[in-house]
Amino acid sequence: MRFFIVDDDEAVRSMLAYLIEEEELGSVVGEAEDGFGVDAGMLAMKAVDVLLIDLLMPIRDGIETVRSLKGGFGGKIIMISQVESKEMIGAAYEMGIEYYITKPINRLEVISIFRKVSEKRKLELSIREIERSLSGLGISRSERPPEQTRSARSIAGPGNVLLSELGMIGEAGCKDLLGMLEALEGMEQTTAADWRFPPLQELFAQTAASKLGPDAGPDALRKEIKAAEQRVRRSVGQALNHLASLGLTDYANPKFENYASKFFEFSEVRKKMRELETGTGSDNSGVRLNVKKFVQVLYLEAKQMLGPQ
């Protein structure tokens, strides 16, 4: 993978370049200290696969730069910034970025996200190469139904912001959770005043059916439902772990104060904090995860951020 780094802090650029090379994720083919001068033509000339860009820069910020690249840059964009404004993070996701990472940089989080984005980019390039080969043989790709156009006010935008705030971005279950938010939004719009939050199993089933399509058999659906439940549970556990870590470091941390007791039973948060403090925590710890409560709160918080339609 070929990376290009845009950040006005030389130390951050050096750190990111070091991580990319040390973890053998690819090569850094260029750097810039501002978004001014970064355009689709230059990135194409350098064959950039992944653009790493800061949000706040002196001349042209990250949002403006990403907006200028829209439709011209085919690679992946990861925004890395110390800004924690939900509105600005939401705007970044609406511009089409893949992930938003909050500074100070967490080494493990950054490496995990870089790997996921690189794998996704490699897959896209492989598919493109296959399609090019088929085209050369005179074989056209079978027509697919047009993708549904997502509203600029999709609930996935604020959903992504919340997952980022909860330290979950990069977890496999995030895509499942975003799908569940969209399913819940569709259910509520359909049933209007009679809407009630569905049983969790029903929500998993609907999301799996939507993902696999109408031709999926019962066995495939059961397998996907089970896999999704495991992915979501692991991701929710990561959110609890993240919040408990914040609370241990600073009990007055605004994210800890705002989210810990909202998404989880606080007794379980305290239990996780004790486990982290004593080093006794594990995947099979005694902490109970209320996944249904987590999904309910995630949906309500995302709806509130989205505002009236």
Q: What is the pLDDT along the chain (309 residues), one digit of tens a residue?
A: 899 999 988 899 999 999 999 888 899 999 988 888 888 888 988 889 999 999 888 888 888 899 888 878 888 999 988 887 777 788 888 888 888 888 888 888 888 888 888 887 887 777 777 666 666 656 554 444 444 434 445 788 888 888 888 888 778 888 899 999 999 988 888 876 677 888 999 999 989 988 888 888 889 999 999 999 999 999 999 999 889 888 888 878 778 888 888 999 988 898 888 888 887 765 556 788 999 999 999 999 888 877 665
Catalogue the E-assigned strands of the chain. Answer: 2-6, 27-32, 50-53, 76-81, 99-102
pLDDT score recorded for residue 211: 87
Question: Residue 240: its pLDDT value, please?
Answer: 92
Residues pairing with 53 in the sheet:
6, 79
The CATH number, out of the four listed (3.30.70.1170, 1.10.10.10, 3.50.50.60, 3.40.50.2300), of the domain defined by the range 2-128: 3.40.50.2300
> Quick one: tokens of 135?
């085209």
Task: Output DSSP code: residue 308.
Answer: -
pLDDT at site 266: 86
| Residues 84 and 103 sit within 8 Å (Cβ to Cβ) | no
Domain boundaries, the chain: 2-128, 156-306
Q: Which helix (H) or strand (E) is 3 found in, with range?
A: strand 2-6
CA atoms within 13 A on the CB side of 145: 3
Cβ atoms of 95 and 68 within 8 Å: the answer is no
pLDDT of residue 137: 58
Per DSSP, the three-state class of 25 is coil
List C-alpha distances in Å: 237 to 108, 175, 195, 241, 242: 17, 15, 28, 6, 9
Rounded distance between C-alpha atoms, residue 277 and residue 282, angstroms? 12
* pLDDT the model gives residue 154: 77
CB 35 within 8 A of CB 69: no
Q: pTM value?
A: 0.57
- What pLDDT, on a 0 to 100 scale, did the predictor assign at position 193? 65
Bin 54: left if φ > 0, else alpha if -120 < ψ < 50, else beta: beta
Residue whose tokens read 């929500």 = 203
